[in-house]
Every structure is written in C-alpha cells, then in structure tokens.
C-alpha cells in the first residue's frame, strides 16, 4: 500500500515544511502542525487551522511513497 504525505511551501519565505501523513490530515486535523526548519530561527510551526485561514500564502505539495507490496 502506498503512503501519501502533504507538505507546505511558504510563498513568502520560500521555506518547505516537513511532510505530514495525509491520513493525519483526514483523521487528526486538530493535532497537525506544519514544521518549517531554518538555521537562523530554529523551527517554526503552523497549526492546520491557521493554514486554512492563510491558505493563499502556501502551495500544497503531495508526495507518494510507493511500497513494494502489490
């Protein structure tokens, strides 16, 4: 079975968040925080609810990890 992930690209700062399993987005939205790492400031987080409010400031990236058990 394939695993799908979502990450965000901040259009202003040009930073990419760490990826989050798509299952978490579906089942655990209130627990999700997108994490953006930077050498200058450490880690910044963006709660899912804030992302929904500011969604025009981000590009959503979907990734698939293909598993070999077909």
The pTM of the full predicted model, rounded to 2 decimals, is: 0.83
CA 11/CA 51 separation, integer angstroms: 13
pLDDT tier, 35 (very low <50, low <70, confident <90, very high otherwise): very high
CA 25/CA 58 separation, integer angstroms: 16
Residue 18's contacts (CB-CB under 8 Å, 6 or more residues apart) are 7, 34, 35, 36, 37
What would the mean pLDDT of 33-62 be, rounded to a whole number? 91
Q: How many CA atoms lie within 13 A of 62 on its CB side?
A: 7
CA 8/CA 15 separation, integer angstroms: 8
Is residue 68's pLDDT more than 60? no
């Amino acid at each position: 079975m394939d695993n799908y992930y979502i990450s965000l690209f901040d259009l202003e700062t040009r930073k990419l968040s760490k990826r989050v399993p798509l299952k978490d987005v579906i089942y655990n939205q209130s627990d999700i925080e997108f994490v953006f790492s930077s050498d200058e400031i450490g880690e910044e987080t963006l709660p899912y609810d804030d992302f929904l409010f500011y969604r025009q400031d981000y590009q959503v990236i979907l990734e698939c990890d293909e598993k070999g058990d077909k």
